[in-house]
Amino acid sequence: MKQIVVFMGFILFLFAAVVSFSNAEPDSVEKSQLERLDNSVFKNPHRPGAVFEHDDHNDMAQIDDCAVCHHVYDGKKLLEDESSEDSQCSECHSLKSDDENSVPLLRAYHKRCKDCHFEVNKGPVLCGECHIK
Ligand code: HEC
Ligand code: HEC
Ligand code: HEC
Ligand code: HEC
């Protein structure tokens, strides 16, 4: 009886070892290969760049209007049927709000990304879910 228990224990150990080994590899490879947003405009970024698989994300979230993120304004007025995908967010949203724009870059990103996730109750809202280590 005791031998059977020990043997079963050994089998379980082998099984766990195989599972954890086969999990460890792809996981770490995947994380390092995740597409991340360029955070270099922030001086000394505190966190790893946010994960954002641009095309896959937008397909999955079924966003067909580029201007949901790449918008164009005339003053405070949002212009329909225009988009600014050739510009980076930081070209209009400076680090600190100024006369040209009242929405500083960090708020612009967090508001755009998190507000929608909260609204549709899908997608990450916790720090570590976007700023994956
Ligand atoms: C929905 C995704 C998302 C979530 C959730 C999120 N962030 Fe961000 N965050 C971004 C994006 C996008 C940027 C701008 C690009 C970048 O830095 O990767 C950013 C930038 C930042 C920056 C400026 C760059 C830097 O690293 O210093 C800080 C600080 C930050 N986030 C902190 C936080 C904290 C704290 C939380 C949780 C309270 C949080 N974020 C949650 C997406 C997110
Ligand atoms: C959910 C938000 C979102 C949507 C929707 C979106 N984008 Fe983007 N896109 C971004 C962000 C964020 C960046 C990075 C901008 C930055 O670094 O300042 C980006 C970058 C880009 C870039 C620059 C890529 C590069 O590597 O320099 C292009 C081109 C682009 N998007 C095109 C599009 C087009 C075309 C659509 C519609 C089919 C679209 N985007 C929809 C958020 C979005
Ligand atoms: C061509 C200039 C321009 C670009 C590029 C741009 N924005 Fe904006 N954005 C503006 C202006 C102007 C406003 C209005 C600011 C105000 O009301 O003072 C604004 C407002 C916003 C707001 C607040 C209003 C709202 O829609 O909720 C968010 C969030 C935002 N931008 C996020 C982004 C993100 C994220 C990007 C990059 C994907 C981006 N913006 C690219 C000019 C731009
Ligand atoms: C208009 C709504 C909307 C906006 C804006 C939006 N998201 Fe999302 N996001 C979603 C939805 C919906 C999902 C869940 C998709 C699913 O699982 O079916 C999602 C999922 C995600 C995920 C997890 C899935 C994946 O692709 O890895 C990440 C990370 C993410 N979003 C990051 C961001 C960032 C960063 C931004 C801002 C640049 C952003 N999202 C802007 C709607 C949005």
Question: Mind listing the pLDDT tens digit for each residue in 62-104?
Answer: 999 999 999 999 988 999 999 999 999 999 999 998 777 789 9
Residue 83 near residue 77 (C-beta atoms within 8 A): no
Q: Do 18 and 81 fall into the same domain? A: no
Q: Is the CB of 67 within 6 Å of ligand 3?
A: no
Flag whether 27 is in a domain: yes
Flag whether 38 is in a domain: no
Among 65, 62, 61, smallest CA distance to 81 is for 65
Q: Do 61 and 27 fall into the same domain? A: no
Residue bearing the CA closest to ligand 1, atom 15: 39
Flag whether 14 is in a domain: yes
pLDDT at 111: 98
Q: Is the CB of 73 within 6 Å of ligand 3?
A: yes
Flag whether 40 is in a domain: no
Total tally of structural domains belonging to the chain: 2
Q: Do 76 and 122 fall into the same domain? A: yes
Question: Mind listing the pLDDT tens digit for each residue in 8-22?
Answer: 655 555 555 544 444
> Looking at per-residue confidence, does 48 or 21 come out higher?
48
Q: What range does the domain containing 79 cover?
A: 54-130
Flag whether 60 is in a domain: yes
pLDDT at 97: 82
Q: DSSP assignment of 71-104, as one string?
A: --EETTEEPTT---TTS-HHHHS-SS--SS-SS-
CATH code for the domain in which residue 118 is found: 3.90.10.10
- Residue 49 is classified by DSSP as P
Closest ligand 2 atom number to CA of residue 58: 5
- Mean pLDDT confidence for 18-36: 55
Flag whether 42 is in a domain: no
Tell if the pTM clears 0.85, that is, is over it: yes
Q: Do 1 and 59 fall into the same domain? A: no
Flag whether 43 is in a domain: no
Partners of 74 in the β-ladder: 77
